[in-house]
Structure 1
Amino acid sequence: MSDEGGDSRQQYSDEEFLQAVRDRQPASTGEVADVVGCTRRNADYRLRRLRDEGAVDAKMVGNSLVWFPIEDQPNQQKDR
């Protein structure tokens, strides 16, 4: 079953992506994809959505984005 196209949220939960980032932080997109079991493209899309929602953040390390949870910081835009 493909995880691209349609609503990929049905196949993989946000929590799976968040847990992969927590477990591997700082986590590369490829590492998250491997842990979740999806394509790198799907992981990139989902991680960017989670960043837009305020659940994770990223920074460039060399030519790659690495992801980390921001839940440890108090009240990040969740109530805004």
Structure 2
Amino acid sequence: MSESERDERGRFSAKHSDDEVLAAVQKHGPAGTTEVAEELGIKRPSADYRLRQLETDGKVESKMIGNSLAWSLTPEAKA
């Protein structure tokens, strides 16, 4: 990635908004991390990072199904 994709603190800027990530989860919900990554055209670790941030913010929740996480919107995010 080029330097222009970093913010003033040197961190990479998000390519997709939270709303775009939430829309991908809703479209496939419950959505696997790989499904979200493919929907957004990003790598799986990037999708996982964003989903975990949204989980911390209370916008998505995860549930283990086998050895995979399934993501869905929280009631607050649906409102």
Using the size of structure 1 for normalisation, the TM-score is 0.79
Instruction: Kindly provide the amino acid, as one letter, of the partner of residue 47 in structure 1.
Output: L
> What 5-or-longer segments of structure 2 have no aligned partner?
none
- Give the structure with the larger helix fraction: 2
Partner of 1:43: 47
**Residues of 2 paired with 1:15 and 1:74: CA distance?**
11
For the pair 1:20 / 2:24, whether they are aligned, the reply is yes
Runs of 4+ residues deviating >4 angstroms: 72-75
Give SS of 1:33's match.
helix
After superposition, the CA RMSD in angstroms is 2.6
- Which amino acid is the alignment partner of residue 7 of structure 1? F
Number of equivalent positions:
73
Distance 1:65 1:7, change over 3 A: same
Match of 2:11 in 1: 6
Task: Please state how far the C-alpha of 1:12 moved relative to its aligned partner.
Answer: 1.1
Which residue of structure 2 aligns with residue 78 of structure 1?
A: none
Which 10-residue stretch deviates more, 53-62 or 64-73?
64-73
Q: Which runs of 5+ in 1 are unaligned?
A: 76-80
Give the fraction of aligned pairs with identical amino acids, expressed as a percent.
47
Q: So what's the TM-score if we normalise by structure 2?
A: 0.80
